[in-house]
């Protein structure tokens, strides 16, 4: 009988490497890794025999401790971590089993295993962000001089370049990479300090066991714990991913807008021979990948609320965080990994139409050069406010008559008294009004690469 799948992550979203970090067998192996590290640390300080620690470590593998056996024991005990402890205990030969999990509480193992998962997830996400940043930086360089309309409030503003737009995006992804790296030492943290964080069960060796375990595993250490690692750490991690998700939606929303039929300045790649845009409208080429990223972004951002609500637990802890974390941590990592890869592919294969950008610029009949004319008038001694009023009124006349702003300016004596025809023509050139766009692009590309 075929397995029935419910969650879309099981069959539709997510890439193998990231999903693999959170699958049951992978999670079990990390729990066993922590138990093995605990045994080694205890042997090192003399709490348990070295041969017992070696035996525990040898058996702490999913080749010996199966998911199936752990599930069977959990049905009996109704305790997920105790099932792992019992499975490992029964697998150990001699008297090594009696030393398994000595002095530890469940979340010493659970939270430290989570640190291992998050460490590996962050490494994958850093690589993803690096890939996307590189793609955006490449577009910034390639289209550094490609002039297009800048738009504010959905309206034509002043000229920019497509390269500058991409440099803005690349700079933003680089900031997210920095945020993830900065948060990592606070997020990738385990604990080995017992039932309420005192380490009492480890006796005089408490301050030796915990750092030894964490050094062994290569993760940070909770300096002052309750029964659990502070959930502010996980809340920060989810918030960083939610912020990243918001930026990915921003980038993909820009693609969707620029792909509108009436704008048509860029478009997602489309496999013309096989890909179908619509089941009925045969002409359609829709920005479906960008729309998918925007849709998933809403899910990732929604995970911030339960992450924050997991912070205020009762006293030294309760269990209200547990079920939520089983959902939000893997979902956040798997979905943001998918979104980063999909966004990178959108921009890597993006179809860019400079000619259409030029057409849209020219279609404004010079209106977008109004600021440049105002600045030129100010440069000739006219007051800024007077220049603004004069150009605004002239631009309105041009729109009303449906003529080019250049012609309206040449017909306005108040303008021609200050600017010559040649100076007006110069002020109307979009290519001459890009400020330091080229230098900004160069600086961003140099920094993010």
The two three-digit tokens of residue 156, written as one number = 């034509």
Q: pLDDT tens digits, residue range 221-272? A: 999 999 999 999 999 999 999 999 999 999 999 999 999 999 999 999 987 6
Q: Per residue in 13-25, pLDDT tens?
A: 999 999 999 999 9
The residues that bridge with 220 in the sheet, in sequence order, are 189
Confidence of residue 4 (pLDDT cuts 50, 70, 90): confident
Active site residues: 153, 278
Residue-range domains of the chain with CATH = 23-99 (1.10.275.10), 106-270+285-359 (1.20.200.10), 367-427 (1.10.40.30)
What percentage of the chain has pLDDT greater than the value 70? Answer: 98
pLDDT at 161 over 80: yes
Give ∠ CA 40-45-50 in degrees, rounded to 5.
45
pLDDT at 275: 74
* Number of CB atoms found within 10 A of residue 396's CB: 12
DSSP for 137-181? Answer: HHHHHHTTT-EEEEEETTEEEEEEEHHHHHHHHHHHHHHHHHHHH
pLDDT at 3: 66
Q: Which pLDDT tens digit goes with each residue over 354-364?
A: 999 999 999 99
> How far is the C-alpha of 262 from the C-alpha of 291, rounded, in Å?
18
Mean pLDDT of 327-339: 98
What does the pLDDT read at residue 11?
82
Q: What is the pLDDT of residue 194?
A: 96
- Its pTM stands at 0.94
Report yes or no: 162 and 433 within 8 Å, Cβ to Cβ: no
pLDDT of 274 reads: 73
> Alpha carbon 71 to chain centroid distance?
34
**CA-to-CA separations, 136 to 146, 149, 426, in angstroms, rounded:** 15, 19, 32
Report the chain's mean pLDDT, rounded to a whole number: 96
With cut-offs at 50, 70 and 90, classify the pLDDT of residue 282.
low
């Amino acid at each position: 009988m075929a397995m029935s799948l419910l969650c879309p992550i099981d069959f539709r979203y997510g890439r193998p490497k990231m999903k693999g970090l959170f699958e049951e067998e992978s999670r079990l192996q990390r729990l066993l890794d922590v138990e093995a590290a605990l045994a080694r640390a205890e042997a090192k300080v003399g709490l348990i025999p070295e041969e017992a620690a070696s035996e525990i470590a040898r058996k702490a593998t999913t080749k010996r401790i199966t998911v199936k056996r752990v599930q069977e024991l959990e049905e009996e005990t109704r305790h997920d971590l105790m099932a792992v402890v019992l499975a490992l205990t029964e697998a150990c030969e001699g008297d090594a089993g009696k030393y398994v999990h000595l002095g530890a509480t469940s979340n010493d193992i659970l939270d430290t295993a989570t640190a291992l998962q998050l460490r590996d997830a962050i490494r994958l996400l850093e690589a993803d962000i690096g890939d996307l940043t590189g793609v955006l930086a490449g577009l910034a360089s390639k289209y550094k001089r490609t002039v297009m309309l800048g738009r504010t409030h959905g309206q034509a503003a002043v000229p920019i370049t497509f390269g500058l737009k991409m440099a803005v995006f690349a700079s933003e992804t680089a900031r997210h990479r920095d945020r993830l790296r900065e948060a990592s030492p606070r997020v990738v943290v385990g604990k080995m300090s017992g039932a309420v964080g005192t380490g009492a069960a480890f006796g005089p060796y408490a301050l030796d066991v915990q750092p030894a375990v964490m050094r062994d595993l290569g993760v940070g250490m909770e300096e002052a714990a309750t029964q659990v690692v502070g959930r502010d750490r996980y809340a920060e991690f989810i918030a960083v991913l939610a912020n990243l998700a918001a930026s990915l939606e921003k980038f993909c929303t820009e693609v969707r807008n620029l792909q509108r039929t009436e704008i048509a300045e860029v478009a997602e790649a489309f496999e013309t021979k096989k890909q179908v845009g619509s089941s009925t409208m045969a002409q359609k080429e829709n920005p479906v990948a960008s729309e998918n990223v925007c849709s998933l972004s809403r899910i990732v951002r929604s995970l911030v609320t339960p992450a924050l609500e997991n912070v205020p637990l009762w006293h030294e802890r309760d269990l209200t965080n547990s079920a939520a974390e089983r959902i939000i941590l893997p979902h956040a990592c798997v979905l943001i990994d998918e979104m980063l890869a999909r966004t990178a592919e959108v921009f890597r294969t993006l179809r860019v139409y400079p000619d259409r950008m030029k057409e849209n610029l020219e279609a404004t009949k010079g209106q977008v050069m109004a600021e440049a004319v105002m600045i030129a008038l100010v440069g000739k001694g006219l007051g800024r406010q007077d220049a603004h009023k004069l150009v605004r009124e002239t631009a309105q006349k041009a729109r009303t008559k449906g003529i080019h702003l250049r012609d309206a300016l040449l017909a306005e004596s108040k303008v021609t008294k200050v600017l010559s025809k040649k100076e007006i023509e110069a002020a109307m050139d979009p290519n001459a009004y890009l400020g330091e766009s080229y230098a900004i692009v160069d600086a961003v590309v140099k920094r993010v690469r």
